[in-house]
Amino acid sequence: MTDKSRMGRLSSDVKHQVGYSPKRLTRDLDGVRAAYANLDRSRFAIYGYWQAVYKLRRKWRRLRKHNSVKIKSIARRAVHGGVPASSGDDLLRLIIDETMTASVQSPSANTKLSKLKSKYFSLLNYAYTQGVKTHDLVEFIKVHGGLNFKTLVSRKIKQKKGGSGK
């Protein structure tokens, strides 16, 4: 028999079971890291990585909202260097920084990787601020230019009737 007065509330025992530890955070980052490492050479393979990053960020938001989990404090303990400060969503930046690595260590490879990280962060941060659901992410990106993502959706410019006006 169920006690109706307790329905919908988590007992203190259940709250401890849904705790999010540095070990679980590391495991989640490893999953996203694997998505990046296993990208194939196809043009649109990066969408899988973007979805993995975005899915983890939204998971962290749900944990914070529903279970009062403080992801930043857990990340400070689990990640060397802690949470990076950024102009947008710093947890999104953390996921990207921790999961994208250069296969070759050279100044030019590191510069290219840094630019890609910045591009991917801008894209995913914009989607996150717009409240895009994870399952709608790929379509949202495609509407906004796909791999050449732009925050503004371009509109077809109507040509004026009557020529150039000369």
Reported confidence tier of residue 62, pLDDT bands at 50, 70, 90: very high
Domain residue spans in the chain?
A: 19-148
- Does 29 score more than 60 pLDDT? yes
- Residue pair 50/137 in contact (Cβ under 8 Å)? The answer is yes
CA angle 51–126–52, rounded 5-degree value? 10
- Residue pair 18/10 in contact (Cβ under 8 Å)? The answer is yes
Lowest mean pLDDT of 22-36, 54-68, 90-104, 147-161, name the range: 147-161
User: Which tokens hold the place of 43?
Assistant: 């043009």
Average confidence score pLDDT of the chain: 82
Q: Could you count the other beta carbons within 10 Å of the beta carbon of residue 76?
A: 13
pLDDT per position as a tens digit, 108-158: 888 999 999 999 999 999 999 999 999 999 999 999 998 888 777 655 433
The pLDDT value given to residue 18 = 56
Lowest mean pLDDT of 16-25, 39-48, 49-58, 151-160, name the range: 151-160
d(CA 38, CA 117) in angstroms, rounded, equals 17
Q: What is the pTM of this model?
A: 0.77
- Does 12 score more than 70 pLDDT? no
**Cα atoms in the 13 Å half-sphere on the side-chain side of 134:** 15
